[in-house]
Each structure stands twice: as structure tokens, then as C-alpha cells.
Amino acid sequence: MVPYYGHHSSKMFIRGKPIRLGQKIWAITSTSGYPFKKNMSQHGTRVIKRMTLVLADSRKHQVYFNNFFASKDLLTTLRTLRNTRTKGIPLMETNKVAKKQRGFFDYKCDGNVYVCRWNDSSVVTLASNHSTHLPVGQTKRYSKKQRKRIDVAIPNIVENHNESIGGVDTMDVLLSMVIAWRLHCELHDADRSAMTHLAFRRGITAHLLRARPLQISRPGPCSHLPHSLRSSRGHFLQSSTQG
């Protein structure tokens, strides 16, 4: 989100964002954060349709995006739906699902689109033409009543979504990162000795603070004196006898 307070038809307001008013830049990336395409000044389903044009064969890819775009009519791959966009789908109502135990889910499928509503810390609705709830897995969640972490059932469609979403967020982090750290990680990937991004930046900062200032040579007969002569350390007056 690029802050912008002027007058333009593409200016957007998105509640809950750190920058709520401005120009929205859309991006499609890999799960590792590699950007394939960026665009702006588009709204609704056109964003997804035009972004997927960069894929050589869309049938061999799974595209994940959040509930800002998703609707039943736009299901080409796994995605999240907003609860207000499930009209006509005979799922259990959101408030009833919220009263069930944690891990409860309801689902419906018309043969083409599979929709699942799952109760976690809040009720979430997902839809796909690729994944279903099978196989049902287990995940750890903290229970306030039992005061410990317990096993909670999680549909496969939710696991796939959680594992694959977040490429754009990773790209945002990488854009603000020193490229040398990425090279450092690749060079130390085999022995798993790569430093974290914070440790890497600390090391660079400490090295620059300890480094000697750059000496720029100037034309002329004078040459730079050795560093030991210019240093003020160890130069003390000593008394001596004449003769």
C-alpha cells in the first residue's frame, strides 16, 4: 500500500492496514516470495484474472489468495471465502459453527466446487476445486479451559492453505532486506551455518564501526604517513641525559 492523499480513481481505503489510504499494488509471487508480476489500478476479480496470465499453464498451478477477492464464481484454485460471499451454499450458519467445539467443520460440494467452514479461534470459510477436508489432520491449539495445548482436527484444505499462503508477505520482507544476506544463506545452506537476518546486520554494523576510514590518495609529492606515526597511542615524553 503506497500512501496517497490526492484525487485519483485508483485510490483505495482498506480498513485494518498500516497504510489505509493510498494506491494498492497487487503482486503474484511464488511461495518463497519470488515476484512474477505486479500491477495496480485494478479492482475485483480482474486482479486475479490478469495476474494469472503470467502462468505458462494455469492448470499446473495452484493460486492462493485471501478473502479480499474470493467468491464462488472465481474458484479456479484453493482460496478463502468471506462468510458474506457464500450465498446459495447450504452450509451451517457461522454463529452455529462458532458454538461447536474447536476443530468442528461443515462442508458441501456440488461436484465442481468444495466449500468448508471450520471453527478455530474464529470461524473461517474456504473453497476449492482441488482440495477437500481429507485427510483430516491434527494441529496444536492452546485451550484456556484446560490451560494446555490440545489436539484439534484440521481439514486438509486448511493445511494446504496455511502452508502455501504468504508469498507476498515474504516478498515484502525480502524487498527491505540486504541482498548479500540472501547470498550468505545460499552459500551456507549445505552446512546450515547461515546467520539470521538480525545477526547478519549486526555483524555488518560491528565491522563497519571497527573498520579504518578509507584513505583517498591525492596527487603530489607527499605520501601518507604510516598509521603507527599518526596514532596518538604510545607517544610519551621521556627524560634523558645529555652527553
d(CA 224, CA 213): 13
pLDDT (tens place) for every residue of the chain, 243 residues total: 788 888 887 788 878 778 888 888 888 888 888 888 887 766 666 677 777 777 767 667 777 776 666 566 666 443 556 666 666 678 899 899 999 999 999 998 877 788 899 999 889 888 887 788 888 999 999 988 888 999 999 999 999 888 888 888 888 877 777 778 888 888 888 788 889 988 988 988 898 888 877 766 666 665 566 666 666 666 666 666 765
d(CA 102, CA 93): 15
The order of strands in the sheet holding 11-13 is 2-3, 21-23, 11-13
The two counts, helices (H) then strands (E), for the chain are: 7, 11
pTM for the model: 0.57
Angle at which helices 197-210 and 179-187 cross, to 10°: 110
Cα–Cα nearest to 10, from 50, 48, 42, 47: 42
d(CA 116, CA 138): 16
d(CA 124, CA 143): 19
Is 160 strand, coil or helix?
helix
DSSP-assigned beta bridge partners for residue 27: 38
Is 37 strand, coil or helix?
strand
